[in-house]
Amino acid sequence: MCGIVGYLGNKEAFPILIKGLHRLEYRGYDSAGVALLNASGELNVYKTKGKVKNLEDYCKGKDISGTVGIAHTRWATHGEPNDVNAHPHYSQSENLALIHNGIIENYATLKELLIREGYTFKSETDTEVFVQVIEYVKKKFNLDLYGAVNRALTYVIGAYAIGIIEKNNPNILIAARKGSPLIVGIGKDEFFLGSDASPIVEFTKNVIYIGDEEVVKIERGQQVVINNLKDEIITPEVSQLELDLSEIEKGGFPHFMLKEIFEQPKSLGMCMNGRVSFDELEIKLRGITDNIDRFRKARRILITACGTSWHAGLIGKYLFEEFCHIPVSIEVASEFRYRKPVIYSDDILIPISQSGETADTLAAMDLARQNGAFIYGICNVVGSSIARGTDSGTYTHAGPEIGVASTKAFTTQVTVLIMMALAIGKELGTINHEKYHEIVKELINIPSKIKLILDKAPEIENISKVFTYAKNFLYLGRGYNYPVALEGALKLKEISYIHAEGYPAAEMKHGPIALIDEEMPIVVVAPKLDLYDKIVSNVQEVKARKGRIIAIVTEGDIEVSKVADYCIEVPDTEECLTPILTSIPLQLLSYYVATVKGKNVDQPRNLAKSVTVE
């Protein structure tokens, strides 16, 4: 949700900033802008509606010189996406330029105060108010930029990651964060700023993850200085990035989404690496072993997440209840955080998040912590806010996910949940030994089974071409594959803009069946499991109403295949592992429907990858 990037060093800033914006574009892409301080001390701001490419075109022929600068790619919150509302924003005197990711909640009150002081505003944004507040306190209290930012932050309520530069002051870049992510890269005689490591990794692996409520002073030729909002000095902790540049490039694929779909055998391998013992057929999860008493005494497991991560969480409920006999309640984070939920100190909260920055999930986690619950996180991004705020947890190690529609993050989240359920179940004695070993053995085979499904991509592409006419899709599944139906529907609507609904197959009779006619495609997730006969009946019910059925079935299927218009086979596996396999054809189906319709699958309209506002 908005990407910010900054540079201060001895190179020209513009190309570095533009490259950084391209890498951060997944966070928002409705407008973009850059501010540069040139050698004469002039502060030039260029910004425009649309993607980073538009900004590059817009800047042609303009003075883009300067060795210090900041840049922004936006996902609009306050004010429509247009040139004026794009960041950076100048202050009244045009001496300051600010980029911001987040929301200033009290901006209206602050704006009124500033208008009374004679300030005028060009945009509808909260960010312009923010920069004016900084200028106001700077003048009023005669402060330098660092002092002014520190002071101004005591006035604003909300979330932010900011970068700010000042005319005639080419040696200073100030940044701060509360709620939204911020990383500083330390190179040789140069510094970088980024919402994540992707704009930085090409230049340096040495980074500082800026903590919440911290302000950073980056000064040419000096060490980075950090203080918190209580005015305490923080010793910067330099970490080494493990990220590789190739991980954030398309690697020959037309889209990041397709690359990430095809990466799943590898990402699952990384997720299981060192955790699944091939020889002993055992699961070894440090976070679980170290905290097994918490799980043993747990009254309940609460799972909270948003979007695709919530769908993974739904599968977690089936897993923990089946294998650990611990009651699980799961809720989307935006509801959980405001519902005044009952949370006990012997509850375990599992927040699940790819980015580790989702505002609602973070807030839900804070709420659970205040109530004494133990927090066990499942996150992809190492060092993210959620990862840092948990008591313990397991990283998914999917590698960077850049396509806005989540794919490999989902299957690795499910893999972590499976490993957790098996590890806890074994410790608690709630899973039968034989079953445990059978599932572990099968888990090891899952990456190669995914490869077999990926080989069917051309077949799935052909099926998808038949259905691009559709205005609505219905996805049905039961048991472990009900969340898969929800996820399949979400994938399709996110990137193709076709309305799609996921439903528990039997529940279809209570409403969606009214929609079925000969036009309506119905995707049925029907691998051969315990409830197979029941889902066969559901498929018959659809067929009787002339619906067009695309079925995901187990290799060698007979019953569903007789009735379905199209079948995509997946290899047989343990029931609890089927979601990993059945979700793959659904990812491919949505990808191909969207690309055949000419949609931008990596940057679908109105969406952003990392939702750092509630």
Catalytic residues: 2, 609
Q: What are phi and psi of 300, to 5 degrees?
A: -155, 160
Q: Hey, how many other C-beta atoms are within 10 angstroms of the C-beta on 373?
A: 24
Using Cβ positions, the residue closest to ligand G6P within the complex turns out to be 307
Least Å distance, CB 611 to ligand G6P, is: 5
Residue type for 516, please? I
The amino acid that residue 70 corresponds to is I
In the complex, the residues that contact ligand G6P under the rule CB under 6 A are 306-309, 353-355, 358, 361, 404, 406, 607, 609-611
Least separation, in Å, of the C-beta of 346 and ligand G6P? 26
Closest to ligand G6P by CB, 353 or 554 = 353
d(CA 355, CA 512): 33
Cα 516 versus chain centre, distance: 34
Is the CB of residue 130 less than 8 Å from the CB of residue 144? no
User: For the chain, what's the residue count?
Assistant: 614
C-beta of 173 vs 312, nearer to ligand G6P: 312
Q: Give the up-direction half-sphere exposure of residue 331: CA atoms within 13 A in the CB hemisphere.
A: 19
CA gap 560, 533 in Å, rounded: 9
Closer CB to ligand G6P, 56 or 360, in the complex: 360
Task: Work out how close the CB of 359 gets to ligand G6P at its nearest, in angstroms, rounded to a whole number.
Answer: 9
Max CA separation in the chain (angstroms): 80
What is the rounded distance in angstroms from the CA atom of residue 348 to the CA atom of residue 331? Answer: 14
Whole-number Cα distances in Å, 223 to 218, 235, 529: 7, 11, 60
- The answer to whether residues 295 and 326 touch, using CB atoms and an 8 Å cutoff, is yes
In the bound state with ligand G6P, the residue whose beta carbon lies nearer, of 445 and 606, is 606
Residue 545 falls in which region: left (phi positive, over 0), alpha (psi -120 to 50) or beta:
alpha
- We find the least distance from the C-beta atom of residue 353 to ligand G6P, in angstroms, to be 3
- Beta carbon nearer to ligand G6P, 359 or 536: 359
Do 359 and 179 contact (CB within 8 A), yes or no? Answer: yes
Q: Which is nearer to ligand G6P, 111 or 609 (CB)?
A: 609
What is the amino acid identity at position 392? S
Residue 252: count of CB within 10 angstroms of its CB: 6
Measuring CA to CA, how many Å separate 142 from each of 42, 151, 154, 176? 22, 11, 16, 20
CB 196, min distance to ligand G6P, A: 12
Q: Least separation, in Å, of the C-beta of 355 and ligand G6P?
A: 3
Question: Comparing C-alpha atoms, which of 385, 361, 262 is closest to residue 303?
Answer: 361
Rank residues 22 and 609 by Cβ distance to ligand G6P and give the closer one: 609
Instruction: Work out how close the CB of 261 gets to ligand G6P at its nearest, in angstroms, rounded to a whole number.
Output: 14
CB of 331 to ligand G6P, least distance (A): 14
State the CB neighbour count (10 A cutoff) for residue 41: 12
Which amino acid is it at 369?
Answer: R
Which of these, 411, 408, 412, lies nearest to 395 by C-alpha position? 412
Write b or e for each residue in 141-153: b if 16 or more Cβ atoms lie within 10 A of its Cβ, otherwise e. Answer: eebebbebbbbbb
- Enumerate residues 6+ apart whose C-beta is below 8 A from 77: 103, 126, 613
Nearer CB in complex with ligand G6P: 364/576: 364
Mark 235-249 as b/e (b = at least 16 C-beta within 10 Å): ebeeeebebeeebbe
The residue among 365 and 524 lying less far from ligand G6P, judged by its C-beta, is 365
The owner of tokens 């944004």 is 125
Smallest distance from ligand G6P to CB 293, Å: 28
